[in-house]
Amino acid sequence: MATHRPRIGILTGGGDCPGLNAVIRAVVKSSFRLGYECLGFLRGYEGLVEPVAWTPLNPQVTAGILTRGGTILGSSNSGRFTALVGENDRVAIDPQLLDEAAATLRSLRVCGLICVGGDGSLSIAQQFHEHGIPVVGVPKTIDNDLGATAFTFGFDSAVATATDALDRLHTTAASHERIMVLEVMGRHAGWIALHAGIAAGGDVILIPEIDWNFDHVCRAVLAREAGGKKFTLIVVAEGARLPGGKSVQADSALPAGSGDQRRQVRLGGVGEVVAGEISRRLGREVRTVVLGHLQRGGQPTPFDRVLATQFGAHAVRLVHQGRFGEMVCYSPPDINSVPIATAVSRLSQVAADSSAVLAARALGIAFGDDAPLAGPFAEPPGA
């Protein structure tokens, strides 16, 4: 009688980012070395309930994908499997869908499903776990906003793209003595804006975690001009709230009359608002660049390739050990794991008194607020 090897499944949910293929490759190679077959489900969670929406994976199929951006399995951040997270309420998945997904996995002899995604995708994975489906999570998001892991893969690649853009804007801003505003992704976290702003020598960084106003932003511009600097680079996170607390949305959450209550609002446009107000107040020419999806494409950086590879290999190890309901995480210098529920219970955001923010302030980078220097960079009493 023929014997069948157990199978490990993998899917990539949510938005794409550099490093997804590196995870897939690591899962496949690690699985085969432990005696498992591997199946990839197409278009994220939808592949679990659509006819013939899976494909066999082996080391030959995944050869050469380590450096490729995107995901060979496709992905989806909308549809029937969507659980809102971040600043929106979570949405429960239809139990019938969960039953269908479980039936698919049983019929395909999948003993463990590796779900690669951000807070939304992993919130779905947590509901799978609560429904008795054997899942392991892998944290993926350029926003770096997942709790319980120091970094998510995709973040470093996005920062590299934003840094390169700022480097290029620096030369044209200096040549034309202009104020340049760069809007970057990150949703409700300012990690990309903060790290890229520091790496590229930005002058003003506006992030969701630090309240700011136009008076202080304009004051920073004028201070530079008074010091002989006739140009300014401003980095704005897409989720940076305007004075008064309102976020700028690229569109409403849903088309009118769509009836789909599962899509999150799409942030974007704050860069143009900032540029327009500064131009009006100071009478200066201000240009805006919105990086958008450029940050989610292209080759992963070496750091992301290594991190994604470790995540994939460790995820297989968790399946092999039967440790379901856990998410791999980076606890420098080690790869560990935590309950998925812990990872998605809160957003990871920039602390206003973090070492990175304090270092930026010490270098003269403004955050659009009037906060004095703090911590190790504080001025001595009476200074």
* Digit-coded pLDDT (tens) for 282-309: 998 999 999 988 988 899 999 999 999 9
Q: Quick check: helix, strand or coil at residue 79?
A: coil
DSSP H helices in 109-201 = 119-130, 155-176, 191-199
The reported pTM is: 0.89
Give the list of residues 6+ apart from residue 318 with CB closer than 8 angstroms, or none.
112, 136, 324, 326, 328, 337
Show the tokens assigned to 148.
């319980």
Q: Which residues of 132-145 are buried (b: 16+ CB within 10 A; e: fewer)?
A: ebbbbbbbbbbbbb
What region does 94 belong to: left with phi over 0, alpha with psi -120 to 50, or beta? Answer: beta
Q: Do domains 7-153+300-343 and 155-295+350-377 have the same CATH topology?
A: yes
Q: Which residues of 321-330 are buried (b: 16+ CB within 10 A; e: fewer)?
A: eeebbbbbbb
- The CATH number of the domain covering residues in 7-153+300-343: 3.40.50.450
Contact (CB, 8 A) for 233 and 53: no
Look at the block and give the residue holding tokens 């054997």. Answer: 134
Banded model confidence at residue 381, pLDDT cuts 50, 70, 90: very low
Domain ranges of the chain: 7-153+300-343, 155-295+350-377
Query: Which amino acid is present at 97?
Result: L
For position 45, what pLDDT does the model report? Answer: 93
- The CATH number of the domain covering residues in 155-295+350-377: 3.40.50.460
Of the candidate ranges 156-160, 241-245, 376-380, the one whose mean pLDDT is the lowest: 376-380
Where in the sequence numbering do the catalytic residues fall? 143
Q: Could you report the per-residue pLDDT of 165-175, keeping only the tens digit for each? A: 999 999 999 99
